[in-house]
A and B are shown apart, each in its own frame.
Chain A
Amino acid sequence: MLQLKETLDSFLTSVEKPARYIGGELGCVVKNPKDVKLRFAFCFPDTYEVGMSHLGMKILYSLLNSREEIWCERVFTPWLDMQQKMREYHIPLYGLESLDPIAGFDIIGFSLQYELSYTNVLNMLDLAGVPLKACDRHDLSPLVVAGGPCTCNPEPMADFIDLFMLGEGEEHILLLSDLYIKAKEQKLSKREFLKQAAQIEGVYAPSLYTVDYNHDGTIAKVTAHDGAPNRIRKAIIKDLDKVFYPKQFVVPFVDIVFDRAQLEVMRGCLRGCRFCQAGFIYRPLREKDANTLNNDAHSLCESTGYEEVSLSSLSTSDYSQLNDLLGAMIDWTSSEKINLALPSLRIDNFSEELMEKIKRVRKSGLTFAPEAGTQRLRDVINKNITEDEILNTCKTAFEGGYTAVKLYFMLGLPTETMEDVLGIIELAQKVVDLYYSLPTRQKGKGVTVSVSVATFVPKPFTPFEFEPQDTRESVIHKHSALLEAVRKDRKITVSWSGVDASLLEAVLARGDRRLGEVIEEAYHNGSFFDSWTECFHYSTWENAMKSKGLDPAFYANRARTYDEVMPWDHLDYYITKSFLVRENQTAHKNETTPHCRIRCAGCGASDAERGVCVEQR
């Protein structure tokens, strides 16, 4: 370690924000390597600022380190300038706590949060000096594992990862660690260990499965070997209220994306928006008790010294004890001068008194996600929100002094017509008109409505997993139509995210194992940090696909039949295929499905016998 520190000292001031590469923050855990049995490198395949903001990593870091015999360290993808220096000075990727090379660790674990970070996984293994492919790593250590939402279809990464951890990590990461420690003592072979690990619920060992393809490139069947289960079910926490939650966060020196105490109020979502993968793969919705949360929040603020605390979950306004929780938190946050940051909430859920108190919180711009421009299309995607609700919320905001509104939409949703596309601008125009109709508006101040459109990406385990993604040509045509429609009004600005990045995301999201070669080829030809616009070059990917004889359109733009074998069909996220088919059919009839608290839609999550599913019966 000392030697590496001295080498780092010789150049670190020449890279941007060097504090990202040196550790030593408050709350980071340092142990003596001689006292531990397992060293875990927790890798987030993006920059320090992004990875350090991620709540899941904080939870698992603290959890693993709460075990005396385990030392978990943090690793992020060094930015380009640092990578260059590391190669120049022959510094392998190291853990931030010990500054030891992670190639010597027992387990290297990746968090797969978005498809465009896949090349960064290869990049990090490469920087660490670890062979990229699982079959080229013969020893038990380092074992390369991965978790996170992308593991609901991890097939494109199957060549590189030894074990995928499906579902919630708090329990199976410890089971796996214990099994590993035992295997290390017994000097088990890697293959033998993988066979045993595959018996843990939620642990998927891709090398124990073979995939056969049909002539048309679709999957014929997936076969399990060596006693591995035919279907791998995601892990789910038995009691969310009793689950481990960190008492301390690592408090970074540099400014990160979400630099505050975060509180997970619940898991899962009851809304069932048909485009939203998170809305399905984290089911069923389970809440934490308001008292537990209030205590956790208070002790977290005390241990970190953060001046801001936020609530984190999907659709936070559905948390049934929100009033109690906010009421309790407002008391101590205001006296201790801590800012209580709230996600966008439905205003009708609040009491007057609470509104008054919350007004003290500093105003940021208002953002709102109608997702689609017409009611018909919002019904198709099951975004149960009406135009009146949107306008009412904007009205409250304008009356409260806001003059800027940001609206998020998706383009290329199933069944979308030109009328739906132009509906986006019509809705934005109504918001502008609403502002000028208000007598209370601030004199001499104009309004800006920013319309931000993303290209819809169909995702596994959603009712739209069968749908083709809109083609590049069609999306570009729709962009011009939006610009054309908005030309008359300077109060509305339109922006969109890259079409090619969405196309790649669509390919990888529903991809199969054959894409492993493509990812490797793209990486070798210079693709990494693909989620950073300045680093993304679609042509590299296009060439990689071509060289492996694969067509992006096969993955992204092809409609799948209901009976097609999906690459992820052997993974069980409780959500049944018959439910997804039913929901897809309902969508095509322009009909909505009520949320879980109104009526159970029979998605399959009730099999877990937890949360909102048992609340009702």
Chain B
Amino acid sequence: MPKGGCALNNVRIRFSKLGRAAYISHLDMMRCMQRALKRSKIPVWYTQGFNPHMYVTFAMPLSLGFESVYETMDFKLTEELAMPSLIKRLNEALPPEIRVLQAAEPQKKFEDIAFSEYQLTVHGTQPDNFLPLWEAFIAQPEIMSQKKTKKGFKEVNLKDYIGEASASKQEGNVVIALRLTAGVNEGLNPSLLIKAFQQQNPSSFSHITVLRTILLDKELHPFE
């Protein structure tokens, strides 16, 4: 049995994953965080049993290649620790492109997550050509697509998942603000929407980078 085996506080950290860190897969991210916690010597609770390991959970896995300023990870502490000190110690132990922004006791459950917002940056396009294409695309009553579910592929209308999808010109680039349904059971990955757009408008851009900006509950309050 590990020292100080009883779990005291639950902690939820919010962190960013930017630049090169976008290419760390979900599984690798978990290992990276566990090693960072180990380096930081923060008193993290380990699972009990034959093969004790650090217990960490992530709210919404991020697709490979996406950046984010709203990733969360939960773990438990075995000793009291002031949150500013926890943030500082963990940041010292993390690679520079992963930064802890916030740490607090969890307020909401994973099941409360209802929406995820993204900022898409379109590369290799002429904004004035692109914007009308996007508007026309979003204005369609139906955007049918094959979506992978637990029971295989299913034909869905992507429009059912879109809360907001406004595109604008910013510093010569096209930036799209998206709010999509998200959650433990049902949600839409923005890459499906990008793919559908690309199919309807081939070679209208070179590539799109995605940044997750926030996770929200159904009242549009931040997931904290």
Specify the chain B residue showing the minimal Cβ separation from A14. B65
B-facing mask of A240-283, CB < 8 A → 1, else 0? 00000000000101110000000000000000000000000000
> Is A306 at the interface (CB under 8 A from chain B)?
yes
Q: Please tell me if the beta carbons of A255 and B28 are within 8 angstroms of each other in the complex.
A: yes
Interface residues of B in 84-115 (CB under 8 A from A): 93-97
Write the nearest CB–CB distance from A302 to chain B, whole angstroms: 7
Interface residues of A in 15-38 (CB under 8 A from B): 17-19, 21-26
Q: Please tell me if the beta carbons of B39 and A304 are within 8 angstroms of each other in the complex.
A: yes
> Is A443 at the interface (CB under 8 A from chain B)?
no
Specify the chain A residue showing the minimal Cβ separation from B121. A9
**A473 CA to B21 CA, complexed, in Å:** 52
Q: Please tell me if the beta carbons of B95 and A337 are within 8 angstroms of each other in the complex.
A: no
> Is A477 at the interface (CB under 8 A from chain B)?
no
Q: Please tell me if the beta carbons of A13 and B2 are within 8 angstroms of each other in the complex.
A: no
**Residues of the A chain whose Cβ atoms lie less than 8 Å from the Cβ of B65:** 9, 12-13, 18
**A9 CA to B209 CA, complexed, in Å:** 8
> Is B132 at the interface (CB under 8 A from chain A)?
no
**A254 CA to B94 CA, complexed, in Å:** 15
Q: Please tell me if the beta carbons of A24 and B64 are within 8 angstroms of each other in the complex.
A: no
**A12 CA to B95 CA, complexed, in Å:** 20
A-facing mask of B13-37, CB < 8 A → 1, else 0? 0000001110111001101101111
B95 contact from A11, A13, A25, A304, Cβ within 8 A: A25
Query: Contacts A6-B123, A26-B95, A337-B52: A19 and B35 contacting too (C-beta < 8 A)?
Result: no
B206 contact from A10, A255, A362, Cβ within 8 A: A10
Interface residues of A in 530-575 (CB under 8 A from B): none
Q: Please tell me if the beta carbons of A10 and B95 are within 8 angstroms of each other in the complex.
A: no
Write the nearest CB–CB distance from B7 to chain A, whole angstroms: 16
Q: Please tell me if the beta carbons of A19 and B24 are within 8 angstroms of each other in the complex.
A: yes
**Residues of the A chain whose Cβ atoms lie less than 8 Å from the Cβ of B123:** 6, 9-10
Write the nearest CB–CB distance from B79 to chain A, whole angstroms: 16
**Residues of the B chain whose Cβ atoms lie less than 8 Å from the Cβ of A5:** 19-20
> Is B70 at the interface (CB under 8 A from chain A)?
no
Specify the chain B residue showing the minimal Cβ separation from A96. B20
Number of interface residues of B (CB under 8 A): 33
> Is A602 at the interface (CB under 8 A from chain B)?
no
**Residues of the B chain whose Cβ atoms lie less than 8 Å from the Cβ of A6:** 123
> Is B51 at the interface (CB under 8 A from chain A)?
yes
**A25 CA to B94 CA, complexed, in Å:** 9
Q: Please tell me if the beta carbons of B23 and A18 are within 8 angstroms of each other in the complex.
A: yes
**A9 CA to B207 CA, complexed, in Å:** 8
Q: Please tell me if the beta carbons of A24 and B25 are within 8 angstroms of each other in the complex.
A: no
> Is B46 at the interface (CB under 8 A from chain A)?
yes
Write the nearest CB–CB distance from A603 to chain B, whole angstroms: 43
**A336 CA to B223 CA, complexed, in Å:** 34
Write the nearest CB–CB distance from A333 to chain B, whole angstroms: 13
Q: Please tell me if the beta carbons of B2 and A337 are within 8 angstroms of each other in the complex.
A: yes
> Is B38 at the interface (CB under 8 A from chain A)?
yes
Q: Please tell me if the beta carbons of B95 and A24 are within 8 angstroms of each other in the complex.
A: yes
> Is B150 at the interface (CB under 8 A from chain A)?
no
A-facing mask of B29-62, CB < 8 A → 1, else 0? 1011011111100000010000110000000000
> Is B3 at the interface (CB under 8 A from chain A)?
yes
> Is A364 at the interface (CB under 8 A from chain B)?
no
A-facing mask of B105-142, CB < 8 A → 1, else 0? 00000000000000000011000000000000000000
Specify the chain B residue showing the minimal Cβ separation from A303. B39
Q: Please tell me if the beta carbons of A253 and B46 are within 8 angstroms of each other in the complex.
A: no
**Residues of the B chain whose Cβ atoms lie less than 8 Å from the Cβ of A186:** none
Write the nearest CB–CB distance from A10 to chain B, whole angstroms: 4
Query: Contacts A13-B65, A255-B28, A337-B46: A19 and B39 contacting too (C-beta < 8 A)?
Result: no
**A468 CA to B52 CA, complexed, in Å:** 53
B20 contact from A17, A24, A362, Cβ within 8 A: A24
> Is A305 at the interface (CB under 8 A from chain B)?
yes
**Residues of the A chain whose Cβ atoms lie less than 8 Å from the Cβ of B206:** 10
In the A-B complex, the 10 residue pairs with the smallest Cβ-Cβ separation, listed nearest first, are A305-B35, A24-B20, A13-B65, A305-B38, A305-B39, A10-B207, A18-B23, A253-B28, A19-B23, A26-B95
- Interfacial residues, chain A to chain B (CB-CB below 8 A): 5-6, 9-13, 17-19, 21-26, 251, 253-255, 302-307, 335, 337, 362
A-B contact pairs, 28 of them (CB 8 A): A5-B19, A10-B206, A12-B23, A13-B23, A17-B25, A19-B28, A21-B23, A22-B23, A23-B20, A24-B19, A24-B95, A25-B95, A26-B32, A26-B35, A26-B93, A253-B23, A253-B28, A253-B29, A253-B32, A254-B25, A254-B28, A255-B31, A304-B35, A305-B36, A305-B38, A306-B35, A307-B35, A337-B52
Q: Could you list 19 further interchain pairs (A-B, Cβ under 8 angstroms) beyond the known A24-B96, A305-B38?
A: A5-B20, A10-B207, A11-B207, A12-B65, A13-B23, A19-B24, A21-B23, A26-B94, A26-B95, A253-B24, A253-B32, A304-B39, A305-B36, A305-B37, A306-B38, A307-B34, A307-B35, A335-B3, A362-B51
